[in-house]
Structure 1
Amino acid sequence: MSTANTTSTSSGRSSVKWILMLGALAALPAITTDMYLPSLPAVADDLGTTQAAAQFTMSGMLIGAGVGQLVIGPFSDRFGRRLPLLIGISLHVVTSILCSMTPDIGSLIALRVCQGFFNAAASVVAIAVIRDRFVGSDAARLLSRLMLVIGVAPLFAPTVGQAIAGAWQWRAVFYALALIGLALVLIVWRFMPESLPREKRRSGDPRRVAGGYLALLRDRHFMALAVIPGLGLAVIMSYVVGSPFVFQDEYGLSQGQFAAVFALNGAAIVGSAQLNAALVRRAAPIRVLRVAVIVQLACALVLLALVLTGLGGIVGLMAGLWLVLGTQGLIPANSSVLALHDYGHMAGTAAAVIGALQSGVAGLVSPLVGLLGGDALAMVCVMLSVAALTLVVLGLGTPAYRKGGWRERDGMDPGPTATAGETEEREAEQVEAQGPDQR
């Protein structure tokens, strides 16, 4: 075997290792959400609370994750990726055990907020590690491949959670989440090397951290791209928090049937993510993104028509949801990569802003489903509104739809052989030389 082939094989094995490891970490919040999801009606009954309050145990976790990422991102830029990851997942284990012992809905909501805060370390560090090692279309492809691993959560987690709750009640689900967290701690400790060298770590001075956040907040282009993954998660979470009540209470599906429907829609997200990985080999991420948001809005309008007319009944609802959710694999990865492009020198902080917006926006939007009635129409109206807002943000906040307004450099790799390490110093110089408005 030639040296080139040996290098290629070694690189391929390394990529698979990182995809599996980072995918497992990034999937922790999704697993924590989806294993618990089928238990929502049981939680409401057992704790004597309302549907909206039970749903807020999901939304509260997202809000906690949003705050957590803002804290953990700069921490990972200062101390490296491994330390905050190990601390965060360890505290996720502790919080999961406490959730299993909660006596009322108020304490469960509070603990879920804390749980979201701590396991935010897994998602923000996973994105930062990708930016440490990859750039441009390579990073977009890796993020899309991660969706395959992350997508296993909605495919299997509800079924596993339903089986656990059916055998030992809903509290046992949190013991399972604690065991998963413990396994991830061991994996990180044994197999994940540090990806941020000491010489590239940023000062922990609060003024510099605040200055970094201020620079990001003043960059309108970055903020528009950074909020789009949050809007995408809001679409998904509006479906997630509403679907147990819509399918089980409104349409009469059993927990097992609901888990199968949930897995089918999860497959749509995974499939479109793999489609995106193939598309970005041939087209700039921005080109894929600006088409995908239009397609998603069109599919959401079709879904609304199906619900209003009742055409196709539950089959029509499922088909419409499959189309809307299927576009999600084409949106967050591309938007995140484009947002991070100029911020390789502060990837943890930038990833924290993206993650905080992702969790915060979804956490604030998804309770609207319950507040608007919790039925299929409420769920679909929230999803449609968010899809429309996504198009507005991309159109007004970036030059994506302006002729000649988007530089190809922002949507493609810096060069055919460039790596994150080779381009990082150049990117830092460009950011210092250009004000946010110039970009």
Structure 2
Amino acid sequence: MLCILALISAIAPLSTDMYLPGLPIMAESLDTSAASVQLTLTTFMAGLGIGQLIIGPISDGIGRRRLLLGAAAITTLASAACALAPNIEFLIGARLIQGLSGGAAIVLARACIADRARGNGAAKLFSIMMIIGGVAPVVAPLLGGVLLGPVGWRGIFWVLTAAGAVMVAGVLTLVPETLPPERRHGGGLKALVANLGYVTGNRRYLGYALAFIFGFGALFSYIAASPFVVQNVLGLTPSQFSMVFAVNAVGMVAAATITARLLGRLSARTLLNFGVALLTISGAVLFCTAALFNSTNPAALLIPLFVSVSSIGFIMGNATALAQGEVTAAAGTGSALMGAGQFGLAAAVSPLVGIAGPDTAVPMAIAIPTFGLLAALSLALFARKADAAN
């Protein structure tokens, strides 16, 4: 069950990273501009956020399994539609549907775990799911590059269709209903407003959720800027960039693995604090190197960048578990708000880290420690005050 939920959670990086190598060929194949092809990424990211925001609260009223099965099925069909797209307008629409259904599947997968586990146990499960799902950012760009030649960009979407079919089969056979009828809320606008009020009124939830969102903001700053920083600023080749990307992803997965092993001896909150501190300090070193000293030495930039990316492995699983543990009565709504904030911030970060052009690392070096500081402030202003009040 955990492996299937991890695969579902990995649909975002798989659907984002696998087809990126084929963007120039797609523009030529569909007789359109590069900007129009890039819009397929924007609509997918927007769909991810909107899908989570809609389906999460609904699932608190009617349960998870039926919605999860429907979302997985629609994701599969949307991937097939992308593969068959006759023009760019059709592809943009199919990517939006793929994002909406993929976002719904992600929020439901997270809610299924929150229904079943609490405290350090939940943190361990979320960390294990992150380990499994963390393979996707490592494999996806490499797999996309390998597949592009033999099967083309349409073949990549057929591979995503096959992954969707595995998701559907996995939900059918391995994922039971995790929210029993007695724990569900009545439907309608009144129940939705009540759930939103319950979730946003919990200060500790807000602190942990914001730490999660800002941690992802730091990660996406790296994802959006690193192709230009590594190749244009540091002068490395595309294949060397793929190796740097893979090594950093391995560091993040290794941190999540350490988290899973330490939980029980250390609390999820302690590990979260460590991850946020590590992100902020390594980000500050990166800022000094790139912005203050304007260094283009690969080691001087890549070492603090590796530590910053690795620190996310201590943040995401623990912050998710702690936030969800605060709002167990409306886990779907809580997960939806986190997901919407996560991908909404990602959509805003992407143009910001490129605002100074493709030949500088300064915007990324500013963004990463800034998000680390915002995560630390969120924990200090919300979670700790609430703890003291109790």
TM over 0.5: yes
How is 1:29-68 mapped onto 2 (pairs within 5 angstroms)? 29-40=12-23, 47-50=32-35, 57-68=40-51
Q: 2: distance between equivalents of 1:188 and 1:289?
A: 31
Structure 2 residue runs without a partner (length 5+): none
In structure 1, which of residues 63, 70, 73 is the aligned counterpart of residue 53 of structure 2? 70
In structure 2, which of residues 168, 177, 183 is the aligned counterpart of residue 200 of structure 1? 183
Q: Is the 2:225–2:364 contact (alpha carbons within 8 Å) kept by the matching residues of 1?
A: yes
2:379 aligned partner = 394
Q: Is the 2:278–2:307 contact (alpha carbons within 8 Å) kept by the matching residues of 1?
A: no
User: What displacement does 1:398 show?
Assistant: 2.4
Q: 2: distance between equivalents of 1:97 and 1:373?
A: 35
User: What displacement does 1:377 show?
Assistant: 2.5
Does 1:123 pair with 2:91? no
1:406 aligned partner = 387
SS of the residue 1:371 aligns to: coil
User: What displacement does 1:176 show?
Assistant: 1.5
How is 1:278-357 mapped onto 2 (pairs within 5 angstroms)? 278-308=261-291, 309=293, 311=295, 313-357=297-341
Q: Give the aligned residue type for 2:379.
A: L
Q: 2: distance between equivalents of 1:76 and 1:372?
A: 42
User: What displacement does 1:54 show?
Assistant: 5.9
Q: In structure 2, do the counterparts of structure 1 residues 249 and 60 end up closer, same or farther at CA, with 3 Å as the change threshold?
A: farther
Q: 2: distance between equivalents of 1:107 and 1:224?
A: 40
Structure 1 residue runs without a partner (length 5+): 1-17, 408-437
Does 1:168 pair with 2:151? yes
Q: 2: distance between equivalents of 1:148 and 1:29?
A: 15
Q: Is the 1:93–1:177 contact (alpha carbons within 8 Å) kept by the matching residues of 2?
A: yes
Q: 1: distance between equivalents of 2:221 and 2:181?
A: 41
Does 1:133 pair with 2:127? no
In structure 2, which of residues 120, 126, 130 is the aligned counterpart of residue 147 of structure 1? 130
Q: Is the 2:205–2:327 contact (alpha carbons within 8 Å) kept by the matching residues of 1?
A: no
Q: Is the 2:202–2:326 contact (alpha carbons within 8 Å) kept by the matching residues of 1?
A: no
Q: In structure 2, do the counterparts of structure 1 residues 357 and 297 end up closer, same or farther at CA, with 3 Å as the change threshold?
A: same
- The CA deviation string for residues 312-369 of structure 1, in whole angstroms up to 9 with x for no partner, is 6233332222110010011122222222223222212221122222222222222312
Q: Is the 2:231–2:238 contact (alpha carbons within 8 Å) kept by the matching residues of 1?
A: yes
1:272 aligned partner = 255
Q: 2: distance between equivalents of 1:387 and 1:102?
A: 43
Q: 2: distance between equivalents of 1:93 and 1:77?
A: 24
Q: 2: distance between equivalents of 1:251 and 1:170?
A: 29
2:366 aligned partner = 381
Q: Is the 1:269–1:328 contact (alpha carbons within 8 Å) kept by the matching residues of 2?
A: yes
Q: In structure 2, do the counterparts of structure 1 residues 316 and 123 end up closer, same or farther at CA, with 3 Å as the change threshold?
A: same
TM-score by length of 1: 0.80
> Number of paired residues?
385
2:64 aligned partner = 81
CA RMSD of aligned residues (A): 2.5
Q: Is the 1:68–1:120 contact (alpha carbons within 8 Å) kept by the matching residues of 2?
A: yes
- The CA deviation string for residues 255-282 of structure 1, in whole angstroms up to 9 with x for no partner, is 4333222111110110111111233222
Q: Is the 2:279–2:372 contact (alpha carbons within 8 Å) kept by the matching residues of 1?
A: yes
SS of the residue 1:287 aligns to: helix
TM-score by length of 2: 0.89
Moved more, 375-384 or 385-394: 375-384
Q: Give the aligned residue type for 2:380.
A: G
Q: Is the 1:230–1:360 contact (alpha carbons within 8 Å) kept by the matching residues of 2?
A: no
How is 1:107-118 mapped onto 2 (pairs within 5 angstroms)? 108-118=91-101
Identical columns (%): 33
Moved more, 250-259 or 64-73: 250-259
Q: 1: distance between equivalents of 2:221 and 2:157?
A: 23
Q: In structure 2, do the counterparts of structure 1 residues 274 and 39 end up closer, same or farther at CA, with 3 Å as the change threshold?
A: same
